[in-house]
Chains A and B, each alone.
Chain A
Amino acid sequence: MTASSEGSVIETASYERHFVSRSLWQRIWRFRGAAPWLFIYCIFVVVGLGAPWIAPHEPNAQDLVGRLQPPVWETGGSTDHLLGTDHLGRDVLSRLIHGARISLLVVAVSVPLSVLLGSTFGLLAGLRGGLIDKLLMRLVDVQLALPAIIFAVLLASAYGASLRNVIIIIVVFRWAGFARLVRGEVLSLRERDFVLATRSVGASEARIAVRHIVPNIVDVVVVLATLDIAAVILIEAALSFLGVGVPPPTPSWGAMVSDGRSYITIAWWLALFPGLAILIVSLSGNLIGDWLRDFLDPKLRR
């Protein structure tokens, strides 16, 4: 997430949500272009949740006789393994489906955690300022200098790779983005007329925060969280690719690409399909995020 795209999230935030002039359906209809991407996302979630029932084979079942079988449409492919088999004879399609489950799990745990942690810190920093605020800004500097992958390398060298470590790394590196966004929003909202008016009629600071500030930052946080899903999927895949993420034999998309790399000259399908899966899911995450940003933009409402 770059500074500038967060900036545009901030700019396009909706402050006056009670001025919805047209019906919701008309607005949704205008953004119907996002429907296919939303559909892909739903497939991703359904496949991830239902992996054990959908997958045609056990993802770790080896079959050394039938190893490196090509996909069904190539010569030598069979309908039993639609996307072929890998170097241990495991079914690529089944591993892809179970890989979606791992990605979904990492997203489902780490994104809400970073949102919660980041928003709380951001709110405190924005409302109180002072030490928390200074600390937050320094932390952002440090995170810039010690990117997630480097930190993951350090952690993996000290503790080894595990799913839990992947989630910890991702939360440690994603919450600050939310904190910075929420802090910026709070700082600008605090000076707005409607907050001043509420304060002048004697509302307490706590009431202003809960009733007037929080509802107005939900939109931008939702947009950033959607964009974050794509980023988290990419980080998880990169960590697994490097061997510092989810340890084998758990089927993870990044690790599948890494396995396929050694067989690239004789079995291109091993690296191609998991990479395509990552690409499509992260692409649709980005597009849905962009769409949500426009959708929630008050300037486009009328």
Chain B
Amino acid sequence: MWRLLIPRLFQAILVVWIVISIVFFVTRVTGDPITFLAPIDASEEELDRIRDQNGLNDPLAAQYLRCLWNAARFDMGNSFRTGQPAFDEIESRLWPTVQLAVASLAFSLVFGVSVGVLSAVKRGTSIDLFARMVALLGQAAPNFWLGIMLILLFSVQFGLLPTGGNTSRTSIVLPAITLGSASSAAIIRLTRAGMLDVLKSDFVRTARAKGLPEHLILWRHTLRHALLPVLTVLGIQIGFILSGSIVVETVFSWPGMGRLMIQSINSSDYPVVQLGVMFTAILIVTANFLVDVCYSYLDPRISSSAI
């Protein structure tokens, strides 16, 4: 297995390196960072002094190497807004984002798989129809709007759950559902299709013929096979969830990295944005790598072919 995962690890590092290079290119080469660093009415000497201080007069290659070195130490300079290192700003917001991402992934897996299984087993019934409608709507509804509608329904109308922030234990419920909605839709579709496929296969017929109870056939034999395609898209879904968290955190005023990034754009706090983009990319790449590890554990056939 390691023979396959080590190249994957290098690939992941390569991707992070390219992302950092893109961040460098977009912010240093095509834009002039001095516009963010200096006051608007700065004199020419003052501008030059600031350039010198920040190494902006060095050759581009030197700047690029320094950028890589700084990125490796997660050091992107100080936040313009607070004066604290950008890393500290991001770090304090990292945990809430991870919490929210894990909660919505858990929600979409549990909800998506169980609805998908039900839908396949009760094929053609009203349960199936309902599941397919949920899948269609979840795929088409913009998550920021869904979040606001959930607030309107559960917080404003019924007063059941908080409207935003992270003040109580139930605060995470609405954002997690909102963020997980699109992934649940995809998982419902995949689980349903996978279950229908596997239920037709020979080994399920054999299991039925030898008199195995239906719940064992479903949960132990069929689901295991039907879940492999779900696992394949899990990496992509994690990417969706982490990029969607920017939107959902804004809707629910969730104190995470995404909301910090949007606030930082509005105040041109540019080291924080850079570091936030880098961290998000690293989170996505790490999650994808972990999915690959899981996959090679669950499907023994993988170890003999490429992942």
Contact = CB atoms under 8 A, between A and B. Distances in A.
Contacts of B246: 149-150, 153, 242
A2, A155, A258, A283 — most chain B CB neighbours (10 Å): A2
Contacts of A146: 19, 22, 277, 281
Contacts of A268: 152
Interface in A145-171: 145-151, 153-159
Contacts of B27: 154, 157-158
B140 A257 contact: no
B265 interface: yes
Given A159-B31, A238-B142, A279-B137, 12 more contacts: A2-B186, A4-B229, A145-B284, A147-B242, A150-B277, A153-B276, A153-B277, A157-B270, A158-B26, A257-B144, A264-B151, A275-B142
B260 to A, nearest CB: 11
Given A145-B284, A242-B246, A283 B137 contact: yes
Given A141-B11, A142-B15, A238 B247 contact: yes
Contacts of A271: 145, 148-149, 152
Contact of A230 (B140, B265, B281): B140
Contacts of A138: 14-15, 18
Chain B interface bracket (under 10, 10 to 19, 20 to 34, 35 or more): 35 or more
B26 A238 contact: no
Interface residues of A, number: 48
A110 interface: no
Given A157-B268, A230-B140, A148 B243 contact: yes
A96 to B, nearest CB: 14
A158 B35 CA distance: 10
25 contacts: A2-B233, A4-B232, A142-B19, A144-B239, A145-B19, A145-B239, A146-B277, A147-B284, A149-B244, A150-B246, A150-B281, A156-B265, A157-B264, A157-B270, A237-B142, A241-B144, A244-B262, A254-B142, A257-B144, A260-B148, A264-B151, A271-B145, A278-B145, A279-B142, A283-B140
Interface in A235-251: 237-238, 241-244
A261 interface: yes
A265 interface: yes
Given A145-B285, A153-B265, A264-B156, A4 B233 contact: yes
B262 A153 contact: yes
A242 B250 contact: yes
B235 interface: yes
Contacts of A147: 239-240, 242-243, 280, 284
Contact of A254 (B141, B144, B277): B144
B281 A2 contact: no
B136 interface: yes
A124 B113 CA distance: 39
Contacts of A158: 26-27, 30-31, 270
